[in-house]
Amino acid sequence: MIQIAGVRNIDDLKVILEAGVELIGFPMRLGYHRPDTSEEVAAALIRSIPYNIKAVLITYLFEAEEIVNLARQLNAKVIQLHGAISISEIQKIKILEPGISIIKSLIVKENNLEELTLELKLFSSWVDYFITDTFDAKTGATGATGRTHDWNISRRIVDLSKRPVILAGGLNPSNIAEAIQFVKPAGVDVHTGVENSKGQKDPVLVQEFVRRSRSAFKASGRLSLTL
């Protein structure tokens, strides 16, 4: 399973759709970063996505009603949560929108496996997927840093988790095969790693990322997993 996040306009969307992925991420209402586009443009772009590909609302919001209202506004069927959200708020999301899928972030810091293992146990009954991403100590950003983290921690999370785990953080065409082979995740997520210097999705980088990901997933037997 492959997610490409950060769609600025229809040109970005076309590049991603031509590559063939399962998930397209739209970061909105973020704690440390500017959105790639407006909520109005994102909603219009999501209306252009084929039914077999799912739009993902990626957000740092942590209150259920606000999250669900934004997901409805965008018509996103998957929510990726990076904020400091409680179990009770995730339960509210499931009550308000029973058909929605939830991806919960696990942010990898230096030597924080014990903390992540506890979080894994607490949230496993209430989310559908986990995503491991990178913490930036300089900015405090919990994800979308463009940096890799200690893959040993993500690999251990994959081994321990009862839910499938997506790997994110500094992935690009050069390291994606190695990342999949080592971590053995259920899916991967890329944002800036397939962009050019202007922040646009680069067709060559996108196609190469998807090609190498699919080849590595096929070798690991993980290709069939979907949300």
Summarize pLDDT for 186-224 with one digit per residue, the tens: 999 999 999 998 889 999 999 999 999 999 998 887 654
Q: Where is pLDDT greater, at 22 or 33?
A: 22
Give the mean pLDDT of 58-66: 95
Q: Where are the domains of the chain?
A: 2-220
Angle between helix 10-19 and helix 203-220 axes, rounded to 10 deg: 30
In terms of DSSP bridges, do strands 23-27 and 129-134 run parallel, antiparallel, or are they unpaired?
unpaired
How high is the pLDDT of residue 34? Answer: 77
How high is the pLDDT of residue 195? Answer: 93
Summarize pLDDT for 203-213 with one digit per residue, the tens: 999 999 999 99
| Run of H or E including 118 | helix 113-123
Percent of the chain surpassing pLDDT 70: 91
CA neighbor of 206 nearest in space, from 188, 222, 220, 221: 188
Q: Is the pLDDT of residue 162 over 50?
A: yes
How high is the pLDDT of residue 137? Answer: 57
How high is the pLDDT of residue 83? Answer: 84
pTM for this predicted structure: 0.92
Structure tokens at 212: 């190498």
Q: Is the pLDDT of residue 147 over 60?
A: yes
How high is the pLDDT of residue 55? Answer: 96
How high is the pLDDT of residue 225? Answer: 55
Give the C-alpha separation, 100 to 93, whole Å: 8
Give the C-alpha separation, 116 to 118, whole Å: 5
Torsion of CA 148, 153, 158, 161, to 10 degrees: -130
Architecture of domain 2-220: Alpha-Beta Barrel (3.20)
Reduce the DSSP state of residue 172 to 3 states and report it: coil
Give the mean pLDDT of 41-61: 95
How high is the pLDDT of residue 224? Answer: 47
Which residue pairs from 146-153 have beta carbons closer than 8 angstroms and sit at least 24 positions apart in sequence? 146/170, 146/191, 146/192, 146/193, 148/175, 148/179, 149/108, 150/108, 150/110, 151/179, 151/182, 151/183, 153/108, 153/112, 153/113, 153/116
